[in-house]
Structure 1
C-alpha cells in the first residue's frame, strides 16, 4: 500500500471545489482511496462561525461555570453553547464535554476546532460527512476519474489511551467495514464477532501523512489497497441499544 500527500493545496474558502483542487495536483487512478481532512471540507462548505453567533443559554452558562470551577480556568459559555447546538446528546458535561454529533459521531466538544481558522473563531464539523464524501466523489467522476473512494477524516482520542488518531466521519464508494463473521481462522475456527473498520484504519494511516498543527497536507491518496473478498457493512456508529459504554455514561456524573 502506498500513501501520498496531495501537495500545495491552497487555503480553502467557502464554495471551493475540493475535487477540482485535488485533481489539479494529484494523478488519481481507479481503485485509489482519497482521504480528505474534515477541516477543508468544513471550510469549503462554509462551516465557520464566531463565538458571538451563539447567544448563551442558561444550560451553557451552567456548564461553563462548572468546568471553570473544576479546572481553575475561565471558560467561555458561548463555546459551550456552540457545542450544545452541534450535538444531539451530552454524554459528559465535566470536566470536559463529550457529545454525540448530529450525524452520530461521539467526540469531545462536538468536534469543534479553534485552530487553523484564520478569519473566524470556530470551525464546525461538516453537517453530513457522508454527503460531503459523495459530492467529492461525484466531482471526481465529472472529471473522468471513476472508481475512487473518498473518506472524510478527523482526529479523535479514544478511551483508555493517550493521544489522538485519525478516524472516518463520512465515506463514499466503499463499505465502512470488512465483515469477517462466518470466515475461518488458520485453525479452522469460525469467526463470530470480527468486523474490521477499514475506513477508520485508512483514516489513521493517512493521518501519518497529514500530520497535525501546521502540517498543511489535508488530502492523501491511498493506492494499491484492496477491500478483498469479504462482505461489507456501512455500520460504523453503534446504536444506543448496542452501546454499553454510552448507557453507562448516561448514569455517571463526576464528583466536584
Structure 2
C-alpha cells in the first residue's frame, strides 16, 4: 500500500542551511525503503542559488542552452528552452516567486549530486536505506496545466524499464518504461501543494524501486537524436524556410 504525506514545520530556507538536519529533525519516524520527495526550490536556496537580477529575462537567457519555442502574449513573452541541465521547459527553470525582491532563484547546479548528498546524510542519521527525489514543476506538451517531475534523484530507480518482460497475457513488452520518478514527484505534489509551505513529502510502499546503483534523473531526459519535437512549429518553419532560401530552393 502506498502512503504519502508531507513533513510539517520546515522553516524558510536560506543559503547555507543544512537541509539534512532540518528535514531529519522534523521527519518523525522513517522506515527502511521510504522515499523523500524534496522541492528543488529549498535545495536551491540552501545551496545559494539565489542571484540578484533586476531583469528576469536576462537570467533566463543566461541559463538557456537552446531555444525550443517562443510565443508572445498580452502578458509578455513565453520562452520554452533547454537549460544547462538538459531540461526543456518554460523560463529555463528561473523562478521569481517566493524570493526576495530583486532576486531570482536558479535550479541546483547538479540535482542528482544534491539528492545523493541529502540521501547519504539522512541514511546516516536514521540508519535506514532511503531514496531521495528532487522535484520541480513543468508544463507538458499537448496538455494544460503543470505537474511536478523528477529533476534529481539518488538511490531510486526513476525509469522502470520493463522492455523485454512479458505482460499479463504473456506478450513481450517492447517500449514500456514507466517514468516512476515523475510519478513519485506528482504523487508528492498532491500533499505538498504549491502554497502550503510543505516542500518535502515522504512516500512509503515503494521500497521495490530503491536501487543503490540507479542512475539519477538525467536518465529521464530524451536525447536529441530521439526527440521528435525538438523545435516549436514556428521555429521549425523558420528554419526550413531559411534553409530553402540559402540553398536557392
Q: Which bin holds the TM-score, normalised by the shorter protein?
A: 0.7 to 0.9
Q: Please state how far the C-alpha of 1:104 moved relative to its aligned partner.
A: 1.2
- Equivalent residues of 2:93, 2:107 under 8 A apart: yes
Which among 232, 240, 244 is matched to residue 228 of structure 2? 244
- Equivalent residues of 1:178, 1:227 under 8 A apart: no
Which among 223, 227, 239 is matched to residue 204 of structure 2? 223
**Matches of 1:182 and 1:14, distance apart in 2:** 46
Structure 1 residues 187 and 251 mapped into 2: Cα distance closer, same or farther (>3 Å)? same
The answer on 1:11 being equivalent to 2:47 is no
The match for 1:58 is: none
Other structure's SS at 1:207 match: helix
**Matches of 1:248 and 1:12, distance apart in 2:** 37
The match for 1:68 is: none
- Equivalent residues of 1:133, 1:171 under 8 A apart: yes
Q: What is the number of residues matched between the two proteins?
A: 228
**Matches of 1:103 and 1:20, distance apart in 2:** 27
Other structure's SS at 2:225 match: helix
Q: Please state how far the C-alpha of 1:147 moved relative to its aligned partner.
A: 1.3
Where do 4+ consecutive residues of structure 1 move more than 2 Å? 118-121, 226-230, 247-250
The answer on 1:80 being equivalent to 2:82 is no
Other structure's SS at 1:107 match: strand
**Matches of 1:162 and 1:114, distance apart in 2:** 22
The match for 2:112 is: 130
The match for 2:69 is: 92
**Matches of 2:35 and 2:165, distance apart in 1:** 26
The answer on 1:139 being equivalent to 2:116 is no
**Matches of 1:229 and 1:104, distance apart in 2:** 24
Normalised to the residue count of structure 1, the TM-score between the two structures is 0.83
The match for 1:36 is: 38
Q: Aligned-residue CA RMSD in angstroms?
A: 2.2
Structure 1 residues 229 and 146 mapped into 2: Cα distance closer, same or farther (>3 Å)? closer
- Equivalent residues of 2:63, 2:92 under 8 A apart: yes
Gaps of 5+ in 2: 73-77, 240-249
